[in-house]
Amino acid sequence: MDNQKSANLTRSSAGLLTVQHHQAFLAAAIAVSEDAIFSTNVFGEIISWNPACTRMFGYTEIEAARKHISYIIPPDFLQGAELMLGAIAEGEPIDRFETFLLPKNGTPAHVVLSIQPVKDDTGAAIGATMIAYNSSHKNQADEKLGRLAAIIDSSDDAIISKTLAGIITSWNPAAERLFGYTENEAIGKHISLIIPVDRLSEEDIIIAHIAQGLKMDHFETMRITKGGTLVAISVTISPIVNSDGKIIGASKIARDISEHNKAVEKQSVLAAIVNSSDDAILSKTLDGNITSWNKAAEKMFGYTEEDAIGKHISLIIPPERLDEEYYIIGEVKRGRKVNHFHTVRLAKDGRHIPLSLSVSPVMNDKGEVIGASKIARDISEQLAAQERNARLYEQVKVLSAKKDEFIGLASHELKTPLTSILAYLQILMKSVTDTQGQVFLLKANLQVKKVIALIGDLLNVSQIETGKLKLNPERFDICRLITDNIEMVSHTNKKFTIVFESAIKELFITGDPHRIEQVIINLLTNAIRYAPASPKIVIHLYQQDQQIKVGVQDFGNGIAADKLVEIFSKFYRVDDHNTNISGLGIGLFLSQDIINRHNGKIWAESVVGEGSTFWFEIPI
């Protein structure tokens, strides 16, 4: 049967096929070809289009027919069209020319194109047949290349390839993520798409390198993303060589090193801090081998970084303190810090340096302790200052005790003659009859009493300080004491009205009545002295559980809130309202001591401009 058919074929005399049959065979071959085969006339209009063309470009034969060749050429790659049309017009074949063609889906396809001009019998060009061989399709067909493509696609580094003219020919997903352009947007564009204007010259250098077949490793530079952000990248560029050994392009692997740069920056900031620190900062392994040593450590211990690194930490530990190291390392191994550990370390010149050590564990990524970092502060100065302060404190204490002793002695010595002056004045008052003489004696009497009271207070202060102020407790009626005190104070301050406001008529308590009287008189005379313009004073008395609470209220200028506690300090006086009121600032100090010794408390409440109330509370 087959023989029958083959017999029907017309053959040339040489036994070859006739032109007619030859065409039929060619047509069949073109129809089944894996490569896109199409023809154009001299004007560049498509006049034939095989099924592989439809597969490659997505246009059917009908869609493609009569379209100009530029229809399947990417707009920014029109130099390809010129080349093709030139080849057709000049009737010159082009073999394996790499270019881009534009399929219907819009993603430029990298193809290898061969152009064969067609001439009529007279030798005039009538068009051309082109075979486009899709290089990426071939890659996919190749299993090894397929695997490579998968690696490229899943790589975290941007991987890009380009022709020697700088036209991007491949663009992986990481490149999309890093630079913001999709594969569609990037392929077929010039690489300057991602080069900042001020770095465009770099590209010439890179291409010159590549053209010589040289690789560029870890070239650090900046690129610009679609959004206009500059990214720091480290790029490795290798030449792409075709099967003939010809360099046809370059592949680039770019890694975003912004984060890395930031980390490096942070590290160098840290290093700068460590090096400029006044504290010695060093690190060591868990075996105690020194791994870092800063400038301050050099200064403090006298060993250079070179001397110290690699040595055992016992280099700076006095032999009798080696045990400390076991303790510290033990803590660190358990992930614990050792803070402000006061110890002594040894300098190169044999000096013992008192230190405050803080040691922290150094951990690896997995959280395992791999060493320790130490910060050592020289505390010689601090210790010397502490010692100086302690000595000063002792000296001051001795001086202060001497002063208190002196005040006690002086008060005592002053009090004796003053008491006899007072006695003589009183005798005189009885014998002097003329009125003026009486007035003078009365005034002298009053002033001497004031001096005696002041000296009494001073004596009390010294007794407090030397622990000699004694209480003589007894049972007494506090109501009675208050009324007696009001009478006594009113007698010498006639323009003041002192009111005792209390529901209690009699209340016996245990305490030293003379000392409690001292407190009440103190508070009353203060109320008179510091509120001279408001002549009313009120004394309150309450009983609460087993306590009595006494208040002395005036309606004077009051005391600012921040002074309410301070007024009870020894020799403290509020300077703004005391300018013309004499005093030593010891009345309230004494009162507080007396109340404290009665297991009570004393405090003041005051509103500036409205007046103050001084309260004390003691157990019954």
Interface contacts to ligand ADP, rule CB under 6 A: 526-527, 530, 554, 556, 559, 567, 572-574, 578, 583-589, 612
Smallest distance, Å, CB 440 to ligand ADP?
Answer: 27
Smaller CB distance to ligand ADP: residue 282 or 531? Answer: 531
Query: Which CB contacts under 8 angstroms, 24+ apart, belong to 325-333?
Result: 325/288, 328/357, 328/359, 328/372, 329/286, 329/288, 329/372, 331/359, 332/286, 332/359, 332/360, 332/361, 332/369, 332/372, 333/286, 333/361, 333/369
Best CA proximity match to 84, nearest among 53, 123, 44, 46: 44
Smaller CB distance to ligand ADP: residue 354 or 583? Answer: 583
Best CA proximity match to 339, nearest among 353, 328, 323: 328
Exposure class string for 160-181: b at 16+ Cβ within 10 A, else e:
bbbbeebbbbbbbbbbbebbbb
Smaller CB distance to ligand ADP: residue 211 or 446? Answer: 446
Strand, helix or coil for residue 172: coil
Give Cα separations from 448 to 147, 244, 493, 514 (angstroms).
115, 127, 17, 21
Smaller CB distance to ligand ADP: residue 372 or 527? Answer: 527
Smallest distance, Å, CB 461 to ligand ADP?
Answer: 11
Smaller CB distance to ligand ADP: residue 283 or 612? Answer: 612
How big is the chain by its Cα radius of gyration, in Å? 54
Smaller CB distance to ligand ADP: residue 21 or 570? Answer: 570
Residue nearest to ligand ADP (CB): 583
Smallest distance, Å, CB 349 to ligand ADP?
Answer: 58
- Any idea of the CA torsion for 256, 260, 264, 267, to the nearest 10 degrees? 160
Smallest distance, Å, CB 587 to ligand ADP?
Answer: 3
Smallest distance, Å, CB 424 to ligand ADP?
Answer: 28
Smaller CB distance to ligand ADP: residue 441 or 564? Answer: 564
Smallest distance, Å, CB 570 to ligand ADP?
Answer: 9
Smaller CB distance to ligand ADP: residue 56 or 531? Answer: 531
Give Cα separations from 17 to 1, 2, 3, 207, 510 (angstroms).
20, 17, 16, 51, 146
Best CA proximity match to 100, nearest among 161, 159, 151: 161
Specify the length of the chain in residues: 620
Smallest distance, Å, CB 566 to ligand ADP?
Answer: 8
Only one residue has tokens 């690194």, namely: 309
Smallest distance, Å, CB 296 to ligand ADP?
Answer: 51
